Amino acid sequence: MTTAVLRTEVDKLRSLASTWWFLGITAAVSLALSGFGVRETAEGQEPGIADVLTGPAFAQLLIMVFAARSATMEFRTGTIWASRLAVPSWYRLLTGKAAVVAGLAALAGAVLMAGGLAVAALAEPTARLTPDSGLDWRQLLTVPVAFAITAVIGLAVGLLLKSGGATVAVVLVWSLVAEPALGAAGEWLLRVDIGAWLPFIALSDFQGQPGGTPFPGGPYAAGLYVTALAVGLLTAAIRLQERREP
């Protein structure tokens, strides 16, 4: 039954033209930004891997929106109830959906990371694109992982809010506005420096993105922490769905 649930979720995504459009546009934007990233490096600096990854960093946000939409669309169209009749367990249904969405996100991350490097090599042949440090390797190899984590977060928020518009607003405003603001002003507002503990800031440290706040325990602990948060949010969303009456 588990394999059947996973195949079903793959079928659902594959059978919609919007899936392919969305992924296509995300890929185009990401690859273009990777190319521009190495072409438009600040004067005096050598273009490198971090510049290539501006593309996937933006794509990560789009994939989070895509994941949220994969949940909200089912509730909006009523398809979720047909799914529920076919798989009469919220736990199996929604973890299957999360697994497929996370898997697709990870695959997209790997493709965009590799594709970004290829585009960058064409756009700026002098760029330093070969990883030659632990940080370089971490920056590249955490891209698929980070995509999967943010996809699960987006899906979980979508399950909690059920509204596409509200979900997109919440995840984007949180990641782009609220977290940076809390990170900068948290100690002043709350008397506690919570910056490193905010999920997207912690994820940024895990990915080795420059200019971030170091996580206590190091970047790999940050990765484990954000993974646990994503799983916890998904679990809470599933539990709440089980308790809600349709």
* Residues making contact with another protein (CB under 8 A): 1, 4-5, 7-8, 11-12, 15-18, 73, 77-79, 81-89, 245-246
Strand partners, 48: 128
**Of 12 and 138, CB closest to another protein:** 12
Nearer to another protein, 18 or 133 (CB): 18
Residue with Cβ nearer another protein (24 or 216): 24
Q: Which letter does DSSP use for residue 214 in this model?
A: P
- 10 Å CB burial of residue 245 (0-12, 13-18, 19+) is exposed
Minimum CB separation of residue 8 from another protein in Å reads 4
The nearest distance, CB 135 to another protein, in angstroms, is 43
Residue 236: CB atoms within 10 Å: 13
3-state secondary structure of 145: helix
Rank residues 39 and 239 by Cβ distance to another protein and give the closer one: 239
Phi, psi of 128 (to 5 degrees): -85, 100
Q: How far is the CB of 73 from another protein (least distance, A)?
A: 7
Question: Can you tell me the distance from the alpha carbon of 125 to that of 3, in angstroms, rounded to the nearest whole number?
Answer: 44
Which of the 8 DSSP states describes residue 215?
A: P
Side-chain-facing half-sphere of 71: CA atoms under 13 Å:
37
Query: What is the smallest separation between the CB atom of 57 and another protein, expressed in angstroms?
Result: 30
Least distance (Å) between residue 85 CB and another protein: 6
> Integer distance in angstroms from the first to the last C-alpha of the chain?
24
Q: Which is nearer to another protein, 4 or 173 (CB)?
A: 4
